[in-house]
Copies of this chain bind each other. A is one copy, B any other.
């Protein structure tokens, strides 16, 4: 009988940054059932696909990090050509600063990205993004953005992987922007990052072929675009998905994960911790309403998380 005790029950707490309570219990319960061979909730290893939104789910989004990167890029362009500062959308970005960037939605951000990055090769873009992450600091918290991933979510990613789940990002942010940091920050390799993307063009480059970014959106990985991006890249429904309250951008991914022949696990983060992070709500409360109707698990960052950011950062 002793041999039948699942190994994870004997191991140290895999989610030490989560407070004990129904949310933590439901996560551990789902993973335990998914990995209990012969049990009713068993999920074969190849179907253990977990998808995570990035901004506001894996790391902070006040401001949206790619928005801060964009601001740097616009400033650099204005140095080259001062007249740009008087033209939209550059003017709005420069004047609006952090406040405006926080309010911008993904389509607006992607349009600006197209304007500032068209014609660049993928290698050039990645170099600029890497340079940004090395020097930029969060305006309020004063640390590099990659140190503002949520400790409980990093533990959750690791816990899922330790139980045979493949962890993917499915976010409205730019695919190639996130790929620069996904491996080191989350342990998620570039090929498991699904995001918004620009059209790209193959350029023969006189025998040294490169891909160049065009000023046209290819895929907007937000709202109904998230299940589409997941199908294109993975070809299976996730059995676990996580998103957050702000714009309603994760509703369809969480519905798509929860409602299927085999019910999945949908997790929704609520940013209700003004003291340790930020508190903000959604205009129409659509995400929380969908969570109630769909039986998703809602995380109160204030109540369910012991800490927000990794210690000693």
A110-123 toward B: CB 8 Å interface, digit per residue (1/0)?
00000000000010
What is the CA–CA distance of A260 and B204 in the complex, to the nearest angstrom?
12
Select A207's contact among B209, B231, B252, B259, beta carbons within 8 Å: B259
A233 touches B191 (CB 8 A): yes
In the complex, A227 has a CB within 8 A of chain B: yes
B202 touches A256 (CB 8 A): yes
A200 within 8 A of B: yes
Interface residues on chain A, number (Cβ under 8 Å): 36
A-B contact pairs, 19 of them (CB 8 A): A46-B189, A122-B231, A166-B191, A175-B232, A190-B234, A191-B234, A193-B235, A202-B225, A204-B252, A204-B255, A207-B255, A207-B259, A209-B227, A209-B252, A209-B256, A211-B227, A211-B228, A211-B231, A233-B233
**Chain A residues at the B interface, C-beta cutoff of 8 Å:** 46, 122, 166, 175-176, 179, 183, 189-191, 193, 197, 200-202, 204, 207-209, 211, 218, 224-225, 227-228, 231-236, 252, 255-256, 259-260
